[in-house]
Amino acid sequence: MNILLLGYGKMGKIIAEIAESRGHSIAGRITIDNMAELDSLAIKTIDVAIEFSQPEAAVENISWAISRGIPVVSGTTGWLHEKPVIEQLTKEKNTAFFYASNFSVGVNIFFKVNRFLASLMKDQVDYKISMEEIHHTEKKDAPSGTAITLAEGILAEQSRFQRWTLDEGQAIEADSLPISAKRIDPAPGTHTITYSSDIDDIEITHTAHSRKGFAMGAVLVSEWIQDKKGVLSMDDFLSF
């Protein structure tokens, strides 16, 4: 494959290393400083764009590629209020768009475990439910996309909640799931959901040891997406 990297920070560099080790080539490494290079790319030679940039750049990056019929695999979080626009553009251009808040296979299994536990606990009203996520200090959005996906899984099974709320020390309404977001280096990502009662606590935790699991997942999805069309997710990739 010939891969265009839209975003070339820490994740982009690891993705490039893994992709090249698997025999793929890198068509371009685009950052905010060299956007003009997009105009000189041989578009027809690009098989897929992997987009790990910043929330404020994601929509422009993804739209550029989708508009040219290039499949996009995106892991940037913090922009999803505009995702319907990208989904519509994907359909119009008859290409593929794949978004995941987290490309780690382990995390996606954790998503399923989280939702199953939330379902088991839906009638256990004596348990208070909360979430804590920890990421490195360079991560701008809070809570993380992974935390939001976990929260959505809980909300789908727990009728007591109508929304999630970022816990910033203020009082949180009873119908809102509190999420504590901490930024501590060099943590690549830890997510803990706690069910707490006067009798006992139940906790589930996923701890990432490095970014390699995320990067490998993005490369594997890019290989898989080559003959696909439409709006896709990790459920499609893992056949959940």
Question: Which CATH number is 44's domain given?
Answer: 3.40.50.720
pLDDT attached to residue 169? 82
Assess contact for 51 and 65: CB atoms under 8 A: yes
Question: At residue 78, does pLDDT exceed 70?
Answer: yes
- Mean pLDDT to the nearest integer, 199-223: 95
pLDDT attached to residue 140? 76
User: What does the pLDDT look like over 213-236, one tens digit per residue?
Assistant: 999 999 999 999 999 999 999 999
Q: Known binder of ligand: residue 101?
A: yes
Residues 117 and 96 in one domain: no
pLDDT attached to residue 2? 98
pLDDT attached to residue 224? 97
pLDDT attached to residue 11? 92
Could you list the active site residues? Answer: 135, 139
- Domain with 74 in it: 2-103+212-238
Q: Known binder of ligand: residue 75?
A: yes
Assess contact for 227 and 47: CB atoms under 8 A: no
Residues 137 and 49 in one domain: no
pLDDT attached to residue 217? 94
Residues 224 and 159 in one domain: no
Question: At residue 82, does pLDDT exceed 60?
Answer: yes
Residues 55 and 71 in one domain: yes
Question: What is the number of structural domains in the chain?
Answer: 2
User: What does the pLDDT look like over 24-38, one tens digit per residue?
Assistant: 999 999 999 999 999
pLDDT attached to residue 138? 83
Q: What average pLDDT is seen over the chain?
A: 95
The answer for residues whose C-beta is within 8 angstroms of residue 2's C-beta and 6 or more apart is 24, 25, 26, 27, 45, 46, 47
In this structure, what is the dihedral angle of CA atoms 46, 52, 57, 58, given to the nearest 10 degrees?
80
pLDDT attached to residue 222? 98
Question: At residue 240, does pLDDT exceed 60?
Answer: no
Question: At residue 121, does pLDDT exceed 80?
Answer: yes
In sequence order, the β-bridge partners of residue 182 are 134
Angle between helices 145-157 and 105-120 in degrees, nearest 10: 30
**What CATH number is attached to the domain comprising 188?**
3.30.360.10
